[in-house]
């Protein structure tokens, strides 16, 4: 048996935030990571343990409304630039605040996406801005011959269709199309365009692999808004194709670190 096969792989999983069933997502991701006995995982709710990040071979995140400190944002960028890979899922690029429109008279809230963490979003390659109401939409395969999506057929999902601001050159693997409104968001009007669903963003010698699907919510995940949320939402988690792409992504990011071009 080769040394590479036997070598321990150190992973950091950051899973935390609001408005999602983080317990469900955390458990599902840990089960997938456990399929390779070499992977040893440290689990956190935020980005504050910078030392753990520096010692990791790869990073996987599922967060919402979790803003890293400036020091952590710089550490995340350095982590990727050094040649390592980061698998960022769903709301990792979402930083939101609720606004009460002037003159609304009845406390109606709008969701804003402030540009408060530019270093984070530039590393990720995107920032969440809005999504239309959850409804079925088609996910298209942008690069059918790419190993990460090869033999994956276009599929339909009832997930959150992410409308984003992008940064840098994205190598898009899956995309969707949308034109219309995202009610309840400050930036609600969107013309017809293709929107990345699954992409690679190169940063220095390393890469961020981003997958926007994977919304999930249970009955008790909206405290302060709804004591009991009436519907359990699993969205793309109900699809075999989603788990296949999660597995492929994990296999991709746990590969040995890439070396700088001038190394």
CA-closest candidate to residue 43, choices 58, 25, 30: 30
Cα-based distances in Å from 224 to 108, 117, 218, 233: 15, 25, 14, 19
The CA distance from 247 to 33, in Å, is 8
Is 263 strand, coil or helix?
coil
From residue 69, how far is each of 17, 83, 114, 207, 242 by CA, in Å?
15, 22, 15, 21, 31
Average pLDDT over residues 153-171: 98
pLDDT score, position 261 = 65
48-52, 70-74, 211-215, 259-263: which has the minimum mean pLDDT?
259-263
Whether residue 41 has pLDDT greater than 60: yes
Residue 134, classed as helix, strand or coil, is: coil
pLDDT, residue 55, reads 97
CB-neighbour burial class of residue 204 (10 A; exposed 0-12, middle 13-18, buried 19+): middle
Q: What is the crossing angle of helices 22-33 and 240-253, to 10°?
A: 60
Identify whether 162 is part of a domain.
yes
| pLDDT above 80: residue 145 | yes
Q: What is the CATH number of the domain that holds 42?
A: 3.40.50.880
- Contact of 156 with 136, CB cutoff 8 Å: yes
> Domain for residue 233, yes or no?
yes
Q: CA dist 1 to 7, 61, 196, 198, 226, Å? A: 10, 31, 40, 34, 54
Residues pairing with 64 in the sheet: 17
What was the pLDDT predicted at 262?
63
58-64 and 189-203 as β-strands: parallel, antiparallel, unpaired?
unpaired
Does residue 201 carry a pLDDT above 50? Answer: yes
Residue 260 falls inside a structural domain: no
Confidence of residue 105 (pLDDT cuts 50, 70, 90): very low
Cα–Cα distance list, 197 to 28, 71, 227 (Å): 20, 28, 31
The answer as to whether 263 is a domain residue is: no
Question: What does the pLDDT average to over 158-178?
Answer: 98
Q: What is the pLDDT of residue 258?
A: 84
Cα dihedral across residues 244, 246, 249, 250: positive or negative: negative
Give residue 106's pLDDT. 40
How does residue 260 score in pLDDT terms, banded at 50, 70 and 90?
confident
Q: Is residue 54 part of a domain?
A: yes
Domains in the chain, number: 1
CB 257 within 8 A of CB 84: yes
User: Does 1 score more than 90 pLDDT?
Assistant: no
State the residue range of the domain holding 161.
3-253
The mean pLDDT of 192-217, rounded to a whole number, is 98
259, part of any domain: no
Residue 57 lies in a domain: yes
**Cα-Cα-Cα-Cα dihedral sign, residues 224, 232, 132, 141:** positive
C-alpha to C-alpha distances, 169 to 19, 124, 143, 200, nearest whole angstrom:
30, 11, 15, 9
pLDDT at 8 over 80: yes
In a domain, 113, yes or no: yes
């Amino acid at each position: 048996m080769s040394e590479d096969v036997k070598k321990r792989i150190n992973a950091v999983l950051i899973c935390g935030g609001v408005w999602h069933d983080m317990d469900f997502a955390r458990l599902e991701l840990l089960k997938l990571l456990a399929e390779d006995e070499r992977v040893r995982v440290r689990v956190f709710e935020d980005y504050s343990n910078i030392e753990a990040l520096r010692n990791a071979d790869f990073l996987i995140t599922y967060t919402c409304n979790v803003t890293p400190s400036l020091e952590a944002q710089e550490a995340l960028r350095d982590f990727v630039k050094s040649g390592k890979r980061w698998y960022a899922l769903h709301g990792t690029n979402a930083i939101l605040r609720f606004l009460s429109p002037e003159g609304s008279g009845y406390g109606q809230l709008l969701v804003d996406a402030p540009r408060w963490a530019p270093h984070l979003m530039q590393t990720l390659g995107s920032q969440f801005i809005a999504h239309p109401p959850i409804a079925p939409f088609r996910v298209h395969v942008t690069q059918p011959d790419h190993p990460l999506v090869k033999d994956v057929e276009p599929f339909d999902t009832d997930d959150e269709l992410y409308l984003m601001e992008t940064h840098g050159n994205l190598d898009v693997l899956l995309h969707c199309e949308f034109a219309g409104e995202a009610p309840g968001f400050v930036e609600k009007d969107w013309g017809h365009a293709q929107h990345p669903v699954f992409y690679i963003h190169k940063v220095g010698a390393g890469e961020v692999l981003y997958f926007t699907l994977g919304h999930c919510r249970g009955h008790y995940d909206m405290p302060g808004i709804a004591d009991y949320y009436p519907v359990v939402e699993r969205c793309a988690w109900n699809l075999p194709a989603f788990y296949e792409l999660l597995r492929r992504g994990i296999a991709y990011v746990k590969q040995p670190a890439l070396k700088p071009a001038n190394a």
